[in-house]
Structure 1
Amino acid sequence: MLQQYNRIMVAVDGSKEAELAFQKAVNVAKRNESELLLVHVIDTRAFQTVASFDSALAEQATEMAQKSLDEYIEKAHKHGLTSITSTIEYGSPKMIIGKQLPKEKEVDLILLGATGLNAVERLFIGSVSDYVIRNAPCDVLIVRTDLDNQLPPKKKGE
């Protein structure tokens, strides 16, 4: 019997890496006839000041995230997917993507774009993908390549 994924989650943030993950998630969802769950996590730590939480910045981030999710939904529909849901979450991306949503939404596959963190950045802040790989209760696919399984061209200085 072949492995069947029923609910596939892909984390999108507008980055090139997330776009690659989205493209592959659409293809996997089509092959499995599964639901695609698009997730954008707004890291609330980025909006905190010494005194208080900056709600104006959070509202702006939410509007931008919703616009981005709407574009991803439209692309997925154009590729023939019909079962698509999306969510904007607030908090720690690691915890939400790696633990909270997979359990709440009964996700059986997570796709994430590979991050561009260097060794020092990983040491101090860690990467979301590292955390998700270690803690997710389901399969995880880290996407590094395009639909032709080719690495995207590197930018100058990388």
Structure 2
Amino acid sequence: MKFEYHRILVAVDGSEASEHAFLKAVDICKRNHAKMILSHIVDTRTFTTLEAYDHSLADRAEGYGNTLLKEYEQKAIDAGVGYVETLIDYGSPKVKIPKDVAVQCNADLIICGATGLNAVERFLIGSVSESITRYAKCDVLVVRGS
């Protein structure tokens, strides 16, 4: 029996771990002839308090996310992935990726890095990858760095 993935959601945040996850996702997408959905979640919780002092913070976070997704999209196309889609959303990555984005995209695999950009949150309340693994309704591949 042959099993293939068709819709692979790749969570990226600009960290080294998400770069490793992306590279693994490229290989898996090509091998399975799968659609790659690149997703970045603008973590609104990290800047809501600071927004009172710097009103451009939300705009800069969104700009960073859009730039990041465009760069990854181009890398995937250049690497030979047949179909690439990007998706930006807002909220907590721990909740949005497994409960909203994966469901919305009908993903059959989520690929993410083992550690991301927010070390303080990981220390206090657990990692995003752990939360994705716990709440996703589909398979999850957590990629460790080299």
User: Normalising by structure 1, what TM-score?
Assistant: 0.84
Q: Counterpart of 2:23?
A: 23
Q: Counterpart of 2:60?
A: 60
Give the fraction of aligned pairs with identical amino acids, expressed as a percent. 46
1:54–1:37 Cα change, 3 Å = farther
Q: Secondary structure at the match of 2:39?
A: strand
Q: Secondary structure at the match of 2:74?
A: helix
CA RMSD of aligned residues (A): 2.1
Q: Counterpart of 1:84?
A: 84
Measured against aligned partners, the alpha-carbon deviations of 1:13-60 in whole angstroms (never above 9, x if no partner) come to 111000000000011000110100000111101111278596521111
Q: Counterpart of 2:125?
A: 125
Structure 2 gaps of 5+ residues are none
Measured against aligned partners, the alpha-carbon deviations of 1:55-87 in whole angstroms (never above 9, x if no partner) come to 521111111111111111111011111210001
Measured against aligned partners, the alpha-carbon deviations of 1:71-125 in whole angstroms (never above 9, x if no partner) come to 111110111112100011100101111211111110000011011787x964522
Runs of 4+ in 1 over 3 A off after TM superposition: 50-55, 120-123
1:37–1:50 Cα change, 3 Å = closer
Higher-RCO chain (CA-CA 8 Å, sequence separation at least 6):
2
When Rg is computed on C-alpha atoms for both structures, the one with the higher figure is 1
CA contact (8 A) 1:48 1:54 kept: no
* C-alpha separation in 2, matches of 1:55 and 1:131: 30
CA contact (8 A) 1:17 1:113 kept: yes
User: Normalising by structure 2, what TM-score?
Assistant: 0.90
Q: Secondary structure at the match of 2:13?
A: coil
1:50–1:26 Cα change, 3 Å = closer
* C-alpha separation in 1, matches of 2:103 and 2:53: 28
Measured against aligned partners, the alpha-carbon deviations of 1:121-147 in whole angstroms (never above 9, x if no partner) come to 6452211111111110000001014xx
Structure 1 gaps of 5+ residues are 146-150, 152-158
* C-alpha separation in 1, matches of 2:133 and 2:42: 20
Q: Counterpart of 1:144?
A: 144
1:85–1:50 Cα change, 3 Å = closer
